[in-house]
Amino acid sequence: MAEEKRLAVVTGAARGIGRAIVMELLKQGRIVAGLDLNAEQLKELEKVAADAGYSVVTKCVDITKTDKLNEVMEELSKEYNGIGILVNNAGITRDRLMMQMSDDEYDILMNVNLRAAFMATRAALRPMLRNKFGRIISISSIAGIMGQAGSANYAASKAGLIGMTKSVVREVAKKGITANCVAPGFILTDMTNVLPDMVKEAAMAIIPAKKLGTPEDVAKAVAFLASDDSGYINGQVLQVDGGMAM
């Protein structure tokens, strides 16, 4: 199948980094299906894509509901002759010091950030194995590499993505499938825009590039790892952080 005709599925697609990834993949001429829990934001994504001259497939789904996720993934695979690319982007935060963190605040991070990515990857692997091609890209974080005070749940989930990714490579690399992580640093999104200036300034002080990243910076890294040009890159963590965690 021609590279641009392979279906790319992006979770957490409606805004921020997810939306940027969708748009970058559309610019490459790919068929893109965006999954998200927020129906209104998915409609906004459709409009943004249409205004740019593209068409995106959207599916409103809670990816923590495994049965529904499997159903959507199977439907997409049947309609588009498999899933060529999976981008595990969906993620949330519930920051709190570990001593104050509730069980629920830990569990929900694991369910959304890690468990759902595992389930989506498992669902995508069958058509990838059948077609002897696949690109799996999971959005980790430098928090999963270097830790982050007040975010033990988030850091644990993002570190878990790295371990899962490397294990997938051990199992399926010989079948023409790659699995890699992109680890963003401090990226300007709705989530970070609301942070106090002092927090942004503290981050800037330890970034050698002396600037904050954009969703598009992350999206371009994902697009490269999704391409045929990245076929011999496997089990890696590509840090998009301006040198913050080097």
pLDDT tens digits along 219-228 = 999 999 999 9
Q: What percent of the chain has pLDDT over 90?
A: 90
Give the pLDDT mean for 106-113: 98
Question: To the nearest whole number, what is the mean pLDDT of the chain?
Answer: 95
pLDDT in tens, 117-133: 999 999 999 999 999 99
CB 197 within 8 A of CB 191: no
The whole-number pLDDT of residue 103 equals 97
Q: What length is written for the chain?
A: 246
Q: Which residue is catalytic, options 54, 80, 154, 232? A: 154
* 205 has a pLDDT exceeding 80: yes
Are the beta carbons of 177 and 118 closer than 8 angstroms?
Answer: no
Residue 4 has pLDDT above 70, yes or no: no
- Let me know if 54 is a catalytic residue: no
- Residue 52 pLDDT grade (very low, low, confident, very high; cuts 50, 70, 90): very high
Judging by DSSP bridges, how do beta strands 177-184 and 134-139 pair with one another?
parallel
pLDDT for res 187: 94
Q: Which residue has the tokens 């850091």?
A: 155
Mean pLDDT of 188-202: 80
Write down the pLDDT at residue 193: 78
Q: Per-residue pLDDT for 159 more than 80?
A: yes
Domains of the chain listed by start with CATH number: 3-238 (3.40.50.720)
The answer on pLDDT for 196 being more than 80 is no
Instruction: Give the separation between CA 91 and CA 119, rounded to whole angstroms.
Output: 14
Among the listed residues 92, 200, 177, the one whose alpha carbon sits nearest the alpha carbon of residue 127: 177
Q: Does the pLDDT at position 201 exceed 90?
A: no
> Would the pLDDT of 199 be above 80?
no
Residue 1's pLDDT band, with cuts at 50, 70 and 90, is low
pLDDT beyond 90 at 243: yes
pLDDT of residue 94: 93
